[in-house]
């Protein structure tokens, strides 16, 4: 049971739902429970689908649950797909535009692993899809000015974070994926990640100076980006900073 719960990557799913709530908050539109529930299952099924497709490759990263328990895993994956499709169908009848947006996110999640051989496409899809929940209020009549800066801020920080993960996985991903460090080199990837994170932090501070708290952790992590070969320290501090940024934007 623990393996099944870990496979949906609950912290990431919750973070994406928080981003959706942030979008509602900044747009002034009331939170929709059905939309957020559907969003949770879209992200969860994306995580499950990706790990199932990459189950053999992920053994090299120390992740073997899907490959070791194929029947159990595929049953879990199908269950989440059924729930996800049911929720999206319900939304399509109630809020067509919102349902179409979440349907698009689910389709991207289903095809994400197939994009791994197209240069830089994987990180682009992750960045846009992960930041898209902030745009959900647009489908309910919100003005783009209310969510544009939070969306760009989130996209920049997500891109920087994902690039750090690509740097850490370079030795395993070589020959399997075409990520930023593999295509453009390790040094370029580190510079691009740092620049993206710093610009994202600056934009976050423009939204509210309180985000300086989270930004400090991100910059603290970036101090090690050159020396930390596997960017372990960098990723840990960036993740703490990202969580703090999300919570601050949620409550202030």
- Condensed to tens digits (0 to 9), the pLDDT of residues 30-60 reads 999 999 999 999 999 999 998 888 787 778 7
Let me know if residue 132 belongs to a domain. Answer: no
What values do phi and psi take at 174, rounded to 5? -60, 125
More confident residue, 219 or 61: 219
pLDDT above 90 for 172: no
Q: Give the model's pLDDT for residue 120.
A: 87
CA distance 242 to 106: 24
192: pLDDT strictly greater than 80: yes
Say whether pLDDT at 66 is over 90. Answer: no
| Domain annotation covers residue 181 | yes
Is residue 154 a part of any domain in this protein? yes
Q: What is the mean pLDDT of residues 210-217?
A: 96
Give strand pairing partners of 177.
Answer: 174
Q: Would you say residue 123 lies in a domain?
A: no
Rama region for 139: left / alpha / beta (φ>0; ψ in -120 to 50; rest): alpha
Q: What integer pLDDT is reported at residue 119 of this predicted model?
A: 86
Res 31: pLDDT: 93
50 and 10, same structural domain? yes
Residue 122 lies in a domain: no
At 91 the pLDDT is: 96
> So what's the pLDDT on residue 57?
73
Share of the chain above pLDDT 70, in %: 100
Asked if 147 contacts 161 with a C-beta cutoff of 8 angstroms, the reply is no
pLDDT at 112: 78
Which residues are CB-neighbours of 169 under 8 A, at least 6 positions away? 61, 179
pLDDT of residue 232: 86
Mean pLDDT of 12-19: 94
Given a cut of 70, whether residue 224 has pLDDT beyond it is: yes
- Asked if residue 1 has pLDDT above 70, the reply is no
Coil, strand, or helix at residue 178? coil
Regarding whether 162 and 98 lie in a shared domain, the answer is no
**Closest CA relative to residue 147, chosen from 93, 215, 216, 101:** 101
- CB half-sphere exposure, 204, CA atoms < 13 A: 32
Nearest 5 degrees, angle CA 114-CA 118-CA 121?
85
Encoded tokens for 203: 């934009």
Number of domains in the chain: 2
- Cα distances (Å, whole numbers) of residue 165 to 76, 108, 193: 26, 20, 10
Of the CA atoms within 13 Å of residue 74, those in its CB half-sphere come to 6
The verdict on 76 and 169 lying in the same domain is: no
185 phi and psi, to 5 degrees? 100, 155
Spatial contact of 237 and 220, defined as CB atoms under 8 Å apart: yes
33/92 Cα distance (integer angstroms) = 15
pLDDT of 81 above 90: yes
Is pLDDT at 150 greater than 90 in this prediction? yes
249 and 207 in one domain?
Answer: yes
Domain boundary, last residue among 116, 133, 165: 116
Of 163, 146, 131, give the one whose Cα is nearest residue 16.
131
Boundary residue ending a domain (100, 116, 132): 116
Q: What mean pLDDT do residues 169-196 have?
A: 91
User: If DSSP codes are grouped into helix, strand and coil, which group holds residue 174?
Assistant: strand
Residue 243 pLDDT class (50, 70, 90 cuts): very high
Is 70 exceeded by the pLDDT of residue 197? yes
Identify the bridge partners of residue 174 per DSSP, sorted by sequence position: 177
Answer whether 101's CB lies under 8 Å from 91's CB: no
For tokens 């509210």, the residue is 208
- Mean predicted lDDT score pLDDT of the chain: 91
Longest dimension (CA), the chain: 53
Domain span at residue 87 reads: 1-116
pLDDT at residue number 134: 97
Write the DSSP symbol of residue 30: P
> Cβ(17)–Cβ(40) under 8 Å?
yes
């Amino acid at each position: 049971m623990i393996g099944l719960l870990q496979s949906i990557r609950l912290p990431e799913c919750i973070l994406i739902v928080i981003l959706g709530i942030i979008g509602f908050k900044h747009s002034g539109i009331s939170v929709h429970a059905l939309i957020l529930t559907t969003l949770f299952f879209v992200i969860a099924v994306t995580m499950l689908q990706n790990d199932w497709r990459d189950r053999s490759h992920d053994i090299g990263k120390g992740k073997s649950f899907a490959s070791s328990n194929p029947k159990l895993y595929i049953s879990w994956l199908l269950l989440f797909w059924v729930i996800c499709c049911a929720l999206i169908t319900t939304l399509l009848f109630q809020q067509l535009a919102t349902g179409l947006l979440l349907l698009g996110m689910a389709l991207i999640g289903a095809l994400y692993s197939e994009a791994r051989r197209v240069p830089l496409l994987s990180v682009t899809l992750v960045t846009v899809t992960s930041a898209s929940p902030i745009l959900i209020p647009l489908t309910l009549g919100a003005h783009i000015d209310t969510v544009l800066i939070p969306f760009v801020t989130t996209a920049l920080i997500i891109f920087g974070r994902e690039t750090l993960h690509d740097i850490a996985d370079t030795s395993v991903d070589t020959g399997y994926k075409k990520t930023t460090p593999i295509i453009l080199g390790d040094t370029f990837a580190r510079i691009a990640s740092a620049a993206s994170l710093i610009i994202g932090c600056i934009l976050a501070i423009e939204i509210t100076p309180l985000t300086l708290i989270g930004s400090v952790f991100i910059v603290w992590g970036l101090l090690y980006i050159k020396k930390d070969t596997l960017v372990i320290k960098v990723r840990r501090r960036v993740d703490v900073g990202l969580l703090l940024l999300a919570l601050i934007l949620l409550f202030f």
